[in-house]
Structures are given as C-alpha cells and as structure tokens.
Chain A
Amino acid sequence: MPQKPKDLIYGLDDRPPFREILALGIQHIFLMSSTLVLPIVLVTEIGGAFEQVRSVVALTMIACGIGTIVQVFRRPFLGSGFVCPNLCGPNFFLASMQAAWLGGLPLMRGMTVIAGLAEAVFARFVHRLRVLFPPEITGLVVLMVAEGLISLGVSKFLGINFEGEPIQKTTVVIASVTLFIMIGVNIWGKGKLRLYSVLMGFLCGYILSMATGVIPLGRLREALHSPWIALPFLDSPFDLAFRWSLVPVFIIVSITGALKSFGNLIMCEKINDEAWNEPDMPRISNGLTADALCVTVSGLLGGMASDTSASNVALTKASGATSRTIAYMAGGLFILLGFFPKFSGLLSVMPSPVMGAILIYVTSFMVVSGIQIILSSGVDTRKTFVIGIPLIFGLSLDILPSMFWGMPYFLKPLFDSSLTLSTVLAVILHQIFRLGESHQNT
C-alpha cells in the first residue's frame, strides 16, 4: 500500500474543493500548452494554411485531453491512475515533419497511428522487462528525460531562437522574475499558496511580457482574430496514408517516447509513495497503454503525436497536488478549449521567458528526482559504471553530436536521441556487469 508523502497537500485519492481543482487544472493546461508551438511550426513548414494550423492545434489539444483523462483511469490494461498529462510530443517533431514533407498531413496522421500501435505492443511487454530496468536505470531514464528539456528551457530563458543571436536582456529579466516568483512561493509560501506557485509565475510572466512587448504580437493578433467557437475538424477527417520507409523511424521514436513515459510514470510513483523502492511494472504497462491510446487517437483525429509530459508530472510534485480530479479537470478543459479557437490560440502564444522559466523550474525537480532514484538503489562499483558510462555517452551526443555522424547507417537510430543511447547502453551494461553476480552471492 503506497504511503502518501508528507509534502503532498492533496494525494491521489483526495478531493480538493472545486475552485481549487479548477485553478490547479488551469495551471496544468498552461503547461500542457507549452509545446503547442510544435504543430504550428510543423503545419507552417509544409505550407499549410492558417485554417489547417488552427485545426491541427485544436485536434492535438483534444487528443491530449483524452490522453490525460484516460491516464488517470485504473481499468484492467488501461491507465496508471496517476496525474500524468499528455502534451504535443517534442520527440515526435522531426519524424512527423519528415512524414508531412513526404505525404502531407494524411501521412503524418497515418504514421502517428503506427507509432501509437507500436507503443501499445511495447506497453504489453514492458512488465516482462523488469529485469532490464532496476531503479538505477529508471533513475537514469528520468534524468535523461530532464536533460532533454534543457536546451529548449535555457534557449527560451535567454531569448535565443537561432544560433549566433544575442542574449535578450528583457527576456532574461522577465524569465528570472517569473522563476523567482515560482521558487519563492514554493519555498516560503504559507498554507495552500504553494499549490499555485506556477500559476502565479505564469500570470506575472505574461503581464510583464505584454508590458514589454516580448509576446509575439503577430501570433497574438492571429489568435485574437480567431472565432470564439469552431469545429476543429479538417475537411477530410480520418484521411490516413502509410509508407513502409517511415515505419522504422516512427517505431524508434515511439519507443523513445515510451521510455520517456516510463520515466514519467516512475516519477509519478515516487511522488505518490513515500516508501517507493521499485517500479510497479503492471501499472506502468497500463500507463503506457493509455499513452499509446492517446498517440493513436491523435493520429486518427488529425493532430500531432502526443507524449506524457514530464513538466506536468514535476508540477504535481512542486505544487504538492496529485489528486486525480485535477487530471480530469485539466483533460476536460483541454478538450473543451479545442473547440474555442480564440482561447486555444492565446494559450499557444506563450512568451519565451515564461516558457523558459517554467521549463527550468520543473526540470530542476526532475533532475533531483532522477538522482534520488539512482542513489536509492545503493550505488556500488557495478552501478557506478552502469550509470556513469551511459550518462557520459548520452551527454556527449548532445554536447558534440558531430562526433557521431560517422556511425554506420544501421546504428544511426540509436544515436538520434541521448535518451535512447544512454538507456540502451545502461541496459546492456547492466546485463554484462551482472555476470558472476549470482556466483559471488552464493
């Protein structure tokens, strides 16, 4: 039986008052909106009209809302029962872009469905892989998921969009103030004030961004000119295409996404259980199935592929509120907003400093959680290398990617993401270094 940690104000089964559920749900949807820029960029890149951009954003929101709600279920085979919301998945971005280039939105949708089905298969087998994922490796996965957010968080915090651009002082100041408010409320906030640390930071960041003109005015204008209510569906819903050549790319991205969700769900377990010591694999398997369902629905509806949100999980820790009712509220609101283009448009215009501050805030929680999980396993010489070597090579891929450009073609997918590389290396090394372990123990 999980033990509710002392720092949680509202645990999984608690029912906060309605207005608090509403405020906490809004706090989550702000964060879930942080990657809505991805479908905007993607549809714009392939020359899509504004109507298409709006539609893909709305459909992605609806799918993410459904995923957030399904995740909180505790049905046989479906749902982990945790607040682990979905957002538009950054790791799918390049693969989705490739599919959209190749065959437009129908191919992107079709391949997203394939990715969802691949994750569903992975989810059904993941509980058999328990031996591959001891706490030190799951901790490493959480750590690398956090590492994957660093470049986006820091570039937004500094206001740098492209290489060679100068640091934007105004952006840094607003981001620092936003971050200070979130941290200050979290550390020194009395009573239930801590629940709203992120929301307070958001509001302050938005106000300062508007006052200083940091908010992207062009997109703000577009959002304001959108209709209040509209059906988000494209002219040809369920228009799916398929291409064999893209299957490997989408399966790899899907497994990477599943590994990330694996890390997120472990973090959920740890946040909700004071006495956590190892992953509950059947529960994680059900959580991954919910995520797979969300990705599939996203493809079928016509949105961009989604993923569980590490930042939202970290937010539950930061706010001390993991009540399931919050996930129902956040998911429900996200679905609803998909039908209100003006509001969804405004949400997707998140100022750079606000996004930077929030990402750095939540990534801090994830980094520490990852380290805690690693250390909880009692690090010995074997584990030092099982963690150290993959961490070194994983980070080297992000620091100096050009070193790996000469890799043989069949190995390239492994070197597409530092999360995949470090996880695969850790699993292999763990199995190698276990050799002789039972002999020594006897």
Chain B
Amino acid sequence: MKQIFICILSLLSFLNIPPVSAGNQEKTRKYAYEDTKRLVALVQDAASLIEKKGRDAFKEFSIRGSKWLTDKHYLFVYDAGGTCVFHPVQPDLMGQNLKHFKDMEGKAVIALIVDVGKKPRPDASGWVFYLWEGPHHTYPVRKGSYIRKALAPDGKIYLVGSGLYNMKIEEVFIEENVDKAAELIRRKGKEAAFRELRDHSCPLNVLDSYIEVIDAQGNVIVDPMYPHLKRKRNISLQRDYIGRYLFTEIKNALAHKDRSWIFYIKPNIKSGRPEKHLMYIRKLKMGNEIFYVAANFVPAAPIWMK
C-alpha cells in the first residue's frame, strides 16, 4: 500500500502543469480544438516575452526542445515593415523584406501578417491562412498562423506568430470571414467585391473553405474555385444525402434573421459514409437584390468515433 501512495503522490506532483495558462484562457475560449488553443496561448506568451525583453526574447525562442521550438511548432517574427527578424527553421529568410512575397495561390502572406500590426490595439491579433512548405514537407501545404502584435520596450512593433499545418477549421474562422465578406460587399459594392472574392488569393478564404455568394434564385455567382465563371451552377434543386433541398434550407434558416448556421449531409468522398457539413450564411439586402454570403466546412469528428 505504501508503494501505491508513493506512486500516486509522485504522479500528483505533475499536476502543477496547466495546459493553457489562466491568463490566456479568455483568448482561447472561442476555439473548439485543443491544438488551436495551445497555439494561441503559445503566441500570446511569446508576445508577452517580447514586450518584456525585446529582441533578447528571440534567443529563448531558438532553444530547441524548449516550449518555443519543438518538432511540431516554431515561432517566427516580422517587423512592422515586413522584414523577417526571426525564423529558426528557415534562417535564410532572416533580414529579407518579404512584404511582397506571395504563396502558390497568390496570397500576399507577409503583407497580411503586417496588416495585423496596423490594427490600433497594442495587443492586436489575427489569423492568416496560406500555403507554406514546413520543415517536414517537400511541397507547400495549407497552414493557419496566429499572429500577435507585440510592442517591445524600445518602442518597435513586432509581429510574432506560429502556425499549424493542415489545421482543423474552427467555426469562429468561418463566422468572422463570412461577416468580413458581407461587410466588403456592402462597403465596395457588388461588382468590386465579387471580383475580390472570386480571386483564389482572397484572404477571406480559410484553408479549404471558400466564400461563396448565391443570389435569390439559387445561382452561385461567386465561387473562388471557378473564378472565371460568373454563374457556375444553380443550387435550388440540389439535394443533400438525406434528400433535403439545400437552398430551401438556406432560405428557411434566414427567413427571419440575417445570419445562421445550417448543416447538410454528404457522403464522404473516400469512405462513402454520410458526413456532416456545416455552413454559415449571411443574408444581404442591397437595393432590390438579395444575396446569400456563405462558407462551409466539414467539422472534425471525435477521434474515438473513427
């Protein structure tokens, strides 16, 4: 019995390791997945360290095996002008101004990172989604990076970030970006906004989820996967796996409100098993016209359900 108590006490001594520090819990509450939460917490902690130590923090960020640099993740830092000031995995990038760098889809990745620094709040943050070749990849894969603005003691602004390759899409990403797309259409008018949204490199596209715009007749008039088609397909007669009309579901959900989540079922492309898709939609009234701005994705299934 004595040995058991010793074992239990030794195990309990590990309990002072919180997965996400209390200070970061507020920032991570809106995310569903633990890996997203940890990434946000890591970047928040890194920003706090820069705010305290300035560039000296980079030395700590480069210690392999520390919480900042592991086989799974690393931090990168850019200055407010888009020059890479810290990158432990691709040190050749350091010192280069990459503001005009674009990924394979034409997304101006570093310019989007720098945009976070232009936000007024001293602790501004944001997500950037792009294609990047990670340390273990031989070709670029989809990556989502969390960026946080940090004001160093010498007054310089740094943008510190870290990302996850092939990350799971969070509902909050979709909601924020569809709302931004709706705002864009309202602000710039349909022609200019649609042109921007049709572009594959539009920053509002999250990983494999694209912004679509559907008109009141069910015509998909914005579809970044087919940017040159102005009216690719009509979804008014499109049914899901269980026979429900998708467009009717959209119209019903938005009959008395201007935003809603709906779900529809499609067979999984590989296994053929039915799979739930989630769609977030905003209804926009512009003059006499009604537009539905939407994005959809497949939420991750619990690991034990596989």
Contact assessment for A162 and B33 in the assembled complex, using a CB-CB cutoff below 8 Å: yes
Measured CA separation A25–B11 after assembly (Å): 30
Contact assessment for B274 and A166 in the assembled complex, using a CB-CB cutoff below 8 Å: no
B263, CB-defined interface residue at 8 Å:
yes
Measured CA separation A292–B186 after assembly (Å): 58
Interface residues of B in 248-306 (CB under 8 A from A): 263, 265, 270-272, 274, 276, 300-306
Interface centre among A102, A151, A164, A174 (most CB of B within 10 A): A164
Measured CA separation A93–B306 after assembly (Å): 12
Q: Interface of chain A, helix or strand or loop or mixed?
A: helix
Given A101-B242, A165-B33, A165-B34, A176 contacting B11 (CB threshold 8 A):
yes
Contact assessment for A177 and B8 in the assembled complex, using a CB-CB cutoff below 8 Å: yes
Pick from A161, A163, A405: contact of B272, CB under 8 Å:
A405
Measured CA separation A155–B18 after assembly (Å): 19
Contact assessment for B11 and A180 in the assembled complex, using a CB-CB cutoff below 8 Å: yes
How many A residues face the partner with a CB closer than 8 A? Answer: 37
Pick from B17, B19, B34: contact of A162, CB under 8 Å:
B34
7 new A-B contacts at CB < 8 Å, known A162-B301, A173-B11: A45-B276, A155-B303, A161-B302, A162-B303, A164-B168, A184-B4, A401-B306
Contact assessment for B274 and A155 in the assembled complex, using a CB-CB cutoff below 8 Å: no
Contact assessment for A162 and B302 in the assembled complex, using a CB-CB cutoff below 8 Å: yes
Contact assessment for A151 and B306 in the assembled complex, using a CB-CB cutoff below 8 Å: yes
Measured CA separation A67–B58 after assembly (Å): 62
CB distance from A167 to the nearest CB of B (A): 10
Pick from B1, B242, B303: contact of A161, CB under 8 Å:
B303
Contact assessment for B35 and A165 in the assembled complex, using a CB-CB cutoff below 8 Å: yes
A-B contact pairs, 27 of them (CB 8 A): A45-B276, A94-B305, A102-B243, A151-B303, A155-B304, A156-B304, A159-B34, A160-B303, A161-B303, A162-B168, A162-B300, A162-B302, A164-B35, A164-B166, A165-B33, A166-B35, A166-B72, A170-B14, A170-B15, A173-B11, A174-B15, A177-B8, A177-B11, A177-B12, A180-B11, A208-B12, A212-B15
Instruction: Give chain B's interface residue range (CB within 8 Å of chain A).
Output: 35 or more
Contact assessment for B303 and A170 in the assembled complex, using a CB-CB cutoff below 8 Å: no
A438, CB-defined interface residue at 8 Å:
no
Contact assessment for B306 and A180 in the assembled complex, using a CB-CB cutoff below 8 Å: no
CB-CB nearest in chain A for B35: A165
CB distance from B281 to the nearest CB of A (A): 14
- Hey, which chain B residues are within 8 Å of A155, CB to CB? 302-304
B38, CB-defined interface residue at 8 Å:
yes
CB distance from A220 to the nearest CB of B (A): 15
Measured CA separation A163–B36 after assembly (Å): 12
The digit string for B1-23, where 1 denotes a CB below 8 A from any CB of A, is 10010011001101101110000
Measured CA separation A388–B14 after assembly (Å): 41
- Hey, which chain B residues are within 8 Å of A98, CB to CB? 242, 274
- Hey, which chain A residues are within 8 Å of B305, CB to CB? 93-94
The digit string for B55-79, where 1 denotes a CB below 8 A from any CB of A, is 0000000000000000010000000
CB distance from A178 to the nearest CB of B (A): 10
A19, CB-defined interface residue at 8 Å:
no
Contact assessment for B38 and A166 in the assembled complex, using a CB-CB cutoff below 8 Å: yes
Contact assessment for A47 and B263 in the assembled complex, using a CB-CB cutoff below 8 Å: yes
Contact assessment for A170 and B19 in the assembled complex, using a CB-CB cutoff below 8 Å: yes
Given A102-B242, A173-B12, A405 contacting B270 (CB threshold 8 A):
yes
- Hey, which chain A residues are within 8 Å of B4, CB to CB? 180, 184, 188
Contact assessment for B168 and A170 in the assembled complex, using a CB-CB cutoff below 8 Å: no
Measured CA separation A288–B280 after assembly (Å): 45
Measured CA separation A27–B281 after assembly (Å): 46
A105, CB-defined interface residue at 8 Å:
no
Contact assessment for A168 and B8 in the assembled complex, using a CB-CB cutoff below 8 Å: no
CB distance from B33 to the nearest CB of A (A): 6
Measured CA separation A169–B305 after assembly (Å): 22
Given A161-B34, A164-B168, A169 contacting B263 (CB threshold 8 A):
no
Measured CA separation A163–B1 after assembly (Å): 38
- Hey, which chain B residues are within 8 Å of A181, CB to CB? 8
Measured CA separation A208–B14 after assembly (Å): 12
Shortest Cβ-Cβ A-B pairs, 4 listed: A184-B4, A152-B304, A165-B34, A102-B242
CB-CB nearest in chain B for A153: B304
Measured CA separation A152–B167 after assembly (Å): 23
Contact assessment for A208 and B15 in the assembled complex, using a CB-CB cutoff below 8 Å: yes
Measured CA separation A94–B305 after assembly (Å): 9
Measured CA separation A437–B263 after assembly (Å): 57
Given A101-B242, A401-B306, A168 contacting B271 (CB threshold 8 A):
no
Measured CA separation A5–B69 after assembly (Å): 57
The digit string for A137-158, where 1 denotes a CB below 8 A from any CB of B, is 0000000000000011001100
A381, CB-defined interface residue at 8 Å:
no
A402, CB-defined interface residue at 8 Å:
yes
- Hey, which chain A residues are within 8 Å of B15, CB to CB? 170, 173-174, 208, 212
